[in-house]
Structure 1
Amino acid sequence: MHSHTQGSLWMLIWAGLCASLVGIGLARFAYTPLIPALIEAHWFSAASVVYLGAANLAGYLVGALIGRPLALRYSSAAVLRAMMLLVSLAFLACAWPLSVAWFFSWRLLSGIAGGVIMVLAASSILPHVAAGRRGLASGAIFLGLGLGIAGSGTLVPVLLAQGLASTWIGLAVVAMLLTLSSWRGWPADVVHAAPPAAAQESATPSGGVRLLFAQYALMAASLVAPMMFLVDYISRGLGAGTHKGALVWTLYGIGAIVGPVVYGYLADRLGARMAIRLVLVIQLVALGVLVESQDLYLIGGAVLVIGSFPPGIVPLALARVHQLVDGHARQNATWSRATVSFATFQALAGYAYSALFSASQGNYRLLFAVAVGAVALALLLELPALLGRRNAAPDLRLGRL
């Protein structure tokens, strides 16, 4: 199974990177720097534009649920190619603002494609990669998210100079080129065997797994506010303009590129659980800066940290699943449920933040404060374990640092 040459290994990695870049990096994150332009061009009202952003998150949940059933029915390669084509088509369709319903449908479809890609891309590639190179391969696949965010921060302003419709068409062309360049990179499917009964039955998860699900869900809820509102906050909320907004979004993208590598390293050094605690504390401070400060330099520094969070926590949570659960089948089943838990809260948070944004007459800092609360709650969930094991838990000492 691992008879791939160096060249075909890189082709596999390229396919995975392109999929996450198109399906999540661009499909979700290129929308954020477009929000001020969509409002200023009067394509839709401010409230509608925000709800349209949340449509992608709702689609992501649907995609996370249907990804594996689709792969069992068709080949993973065929499904992944179809999803990348769907994203390209959705970008093209968004060049014509025919109605809110039309736009909503295409944003929803692009979200579904992203959810399917998140569930299938890594799992279709990693079985074909030698064990010693899997860390590199999965890191490169998640790197697509960061590249998409950083790319959207630089590409969107350039395209916007040609007009809003041209921007959507330009994104469609970029997505299609990436789709075609990776078309032959997808491996033939490993024959799908039915998962064993042990993996299918929803065995009661351990306390550790339940804690991880709760924390992962709260992390999802916290990362939505900056993801959806950051550029609009800088551009319109602080009156710094579209250019500064895009610049801050590029910093977010740089953080997202660095995140998976740094967080993976922390998980290796400290263990996944200690790394999660440390990352939550740092995230709490960074989000606090967003709530309290209006200094663009301070905000820029905080945004680098905040940007590392969405793609960085994926390998961290995956490492924690592998720590808590034995056996590949059970690990895959647990990871699938964790992804659905994450996607559910991300979608719910998207609509909750949108409603709060409208109800508070556009109070951005209130939204960021809610995100601070979600991270604080994720940390508080650790208290019983910390208090209960303070005396008898040598693993909590920082000697290994």
Structure 2
Amino acid sequence: MSAFWRDSLAGLCALLIGIGIARFGYTPLIPVLIQHHWLDAGDAAYLGATNLAGYVGGSLLAAWLSRLVPVARLTRIAMIITTISLAACMLPWGFLWFAPWRFLTGFTGGLLMVAAVPLMLSRAPPHLHGRSNGIVFTGVGIGVIASGTLVPALASEGPAAIWGGMALVAGLLTLLTWPRWTPQPGDASPGTRGTTRAFTRPVAILLVAYMLDSAAFVPHTVFWADFIARGLHRGIEAGGFYWIFFGVGAMCGPVLAGFVAERFGFYRSVTGGYGIKAAFVALPILSQHPVALAASAVVVGAMTPGISALASGRVAELVGFAAHRQVWGWLTGGFAVASAVAGYLMSYLFDSYGSYYMLFGIGTVGLCIAMLLSVFVRNPPAPAAQAA
């Protein structure tokens, strides 16, 4: 196997551990935690928001930490902490015990997204950047599918077995990819030059639209399995089953987004992506038919990492490649902040009103606004166009 494939698969595993399992694996676990009386519904929702808060910290501090510790070494540390945090959650000691561990897994997920993934992409040859990007982001979907399969299979054994299973998978993948996370002479830390010039009005608008997108998928990434299992009274197995559909979409989304962008350009692709995602976030409000639920899960799952890949390409168009890493860090940090705020707000609303449909409605409105905002980010500034 070539170095390109080994590096790309290592990046895939980084996202599989930090995002696919440690973060999104919690979604199908929520009804199991409630059913076994480890947490009540409100605490389970707040715990999901706590993980998002950790993601905020990790994504915002990733650039600073990578200047203190080589990114490859920082990635190893993040993977180890993630594995330990998952194993610690095997103990049924309540919300106050779970909260710091879930915050830590969110923090390490932010580190892996902002620091580790760009590192592996930088090692790929220029003509293979698109392919490498698609492979790496596929890790999110594979992690979602793995967790959606693992949780129902171990549900009868209780939450401890599920947490242990996720910790085991994370630990094995950490060992498997360990040799690729060694510092190499060509590795570069995230730069900080040109940050003032890069923050233009189009970048600010793109940032706001991307933050709205991050808030809009909270109903699907935090409440989806619980909505199916308890809201529609279809059971934990059904919740995990429809979560797998989300994972299938997330696995295919980045690659498909790349092909679409090549055909229609990043501007049209990002704008259209927001509109499509809005329609399918709203779909469960209109119909709870199994086909409608599966379609909603697949499309929203595909657009979750898919829009991230498109937004990354759009950033390169707006600011050029020299400032891409820095601006992408801003978008990732903003994405995390919006996710955390929306997570706590929607947890409060759900705890107060108990309505899943209210949450889907809020997400739909946010995506419609994001689509309208992205329309106004049509042409990159002249200097960025020249730099590209």
TM-score grouping bracket, smaller chain normalisation:
over 0.9
Q: TM-score, normalised by structure 1?
A: 0.90
Cα distance in structure 2, aligned partners of 1:155 and 1:141:
22
Instruction: Report the alpha carbon displacement of residue 230 of structure 1 after superposing the two structures with TM.
Output: 0.7
Check if 1:172 corresponds to 2:167.
yes
Check if 1:147 corresponds to 2:139.
no
Aligned counterpart, 1:60: 55
Aligned pairs for 1:304-343 (under 5 A) are 304-328=298-322, 330-343=323-336
Aligned counterpart, 1:42: 37
Instruction: Report the alpha carbon displacement of residue 207 of structure 1 after superposing the two structures with TM.
Output: 2.7
Instruction: Report the alpha carbon displacement of residue 383 of structure 1 after superposing the two structures with TM.
Output: 5.8
Instruction: Report the alpha carbon displacement of residue 152 of structure 1 after superposing the two structures with TM.
Output: 0.8
From 104, 117, 120, the equivalent of 1:125 is 120
Instruction: Report the alpha carbon displacement of residue 206 of structure 1 after superposing the two structures with TM.
Output: 2.5
Aligned counterpart, 1:368: 360
Please state whether the residue corresponding to 1:16 is helix, strand or coil: helix
Cα distance in structure 2, aligned partners of 1:348 and 1:385:
25
Aligned counterpart, 1:226: 220
Check if 1:209 corresponds to 2:209.
no
Aligned counterpart, 1:108: 103
Please state whether the residue corresponding to 1:49 is helix, strand or coil: helix
Is the 2:67–2:189 contact (alpha carbons within 8 Å) kept by the matching residues of 1?
no
Question: Aligned in 2, Cα 1:194/1:239: closer, same or farther, shift over 3 Å?
Answer: closer
Cα distance in structure 1, aligned partners of 2:75 and 2:232:
40
Question: Aligned in 2, Cα 1:315/1:383: closer, same or farther, shift over 3 Å?
Answer: closer
Q: Give the AA of the match of 1:102.
A: W
Q: TM-score, normalised by structure 2?
A: 0.93
Is the 1:14–1:185 contact (alpha carbons within 8 Å) kept by the matching residues of 2?
no
Check if 1:134 corresponds to 2:126.
no
Aligned pairs for 1:148-297 (under 5 A) are 148-189=143-184, 190=186, 192=188, 195=191, 197=193, 199-200=194-195, 202-203=196-197, 205-297=199-291
Cα distance in structure 1, aligned partners of 2:375 and 2:255:
28
Is the 1:255–1:306 contact (alpha carbons within 8 Å) kept by the matching residues of 2?
yes
Is the 2:82–2:170 contact (alpha carbons within 8 Å) kept by the matching residues of 1?
yes
RMSD: 1.7
How many residues end up aligned between the 2 structures? 378
Is the 2:8–2:132 contact (alpha carbons within 8 Å) kept by the matching residues of 1?
yes
Q: Give the AA of the match of 1:367.
A: L
Cα distance in structure 1, aligned partners of 2:82 and 2:189:
29
Is the 2:205–2:377 contact (alpha carbons within 8 Å) kept by the matching residues of 1?
no
Cα distance in structure 1, aligned partners of 2:235 and 2:346:
23
Is the 2:212–2:370 contact (alpha carbons within 8 Å) kept by the matching residues of 1?
yes
Question: Aligned in 2, Cα 1:48/1:10: closer, same or farther, shift over 3 Å?
Answer: same
Cα distance in structure 1, aligned partners of 2:191 and 2:268:
32
Larger deviation: 295-304 or 251-260?
295-304
Is the 1:8–1:185 contact (alpha carbons within 8 Å) kept by the matching residues of 2?
no
Is the 2:217–2:281 contact (alpha carbons within 8 Å) kept by the matching residues of 1?
no
Check if 1:357 corresponds to 2:332.
no
Is the 1:159–1:166 contact (alpha carbons within 8 Å) kept by the matching residues of 2?
yes
Instruction: Report the alpha carbon displacement of residue 158 of structure 1 after superposing the two structures with TM.
Output: 1.2
Question: Aligned in 2, Cα 1:333/1:294: closer, same or farther, shift over 3 Å?
Answer: same
Cα distance in structure 2, aligned partners of 1:66 and 1:383:
31
Cα displacement string for residues 218-253 of structure 1 (whole angstroms, at most 9, x for unaligned residues): 100101111111110111000111111111000000
Cα distance in structure 1, aligned partners of 2:214 and 2:190:
30
Instruction: Report the alpha carbon displacement of residue 8 of structure 1 after superposing the two structures with TM.
Output: 2.4
Cα displacement string for residues 325-345 of structure 1 (whole angstroms, at most 9, x for unaligned residues): 1241x2221111111111110
Q: Give the AA of the match of 1:139.
A: G
Cα displacement string for residues 85-131 of structure 1 (whole angstroms, at most 9, x for unaligned residues): 11110111000021311100000000000000000122211222111
Aligned counterpart, 1:3: none
Aligned counterpart, 2:4: 9
What's the % identity of the aligned pairs? 36
Question: Aligned in 2, Cα 1:210/1:225: closer, same or farther, shift over 3 Å?
Answer: same
Question: Aligned in 2, Cα 1:114/1:385: closer, same or farther, shift over 3 Å?
Answer: closer
Aligned counterpart, 1:393: none
Q: Give the AA of the match of 2:20.
A: G
Cα distance in structure 1, aligned partners of 2:239 and 2:192:
50
Cα distance in structure 1, aligned partners of 2:100 and 2:295:
36
Is the 2:47–2:99 contact (alpha carbons within 8 Å) kept by the matching residues of 1?
yes
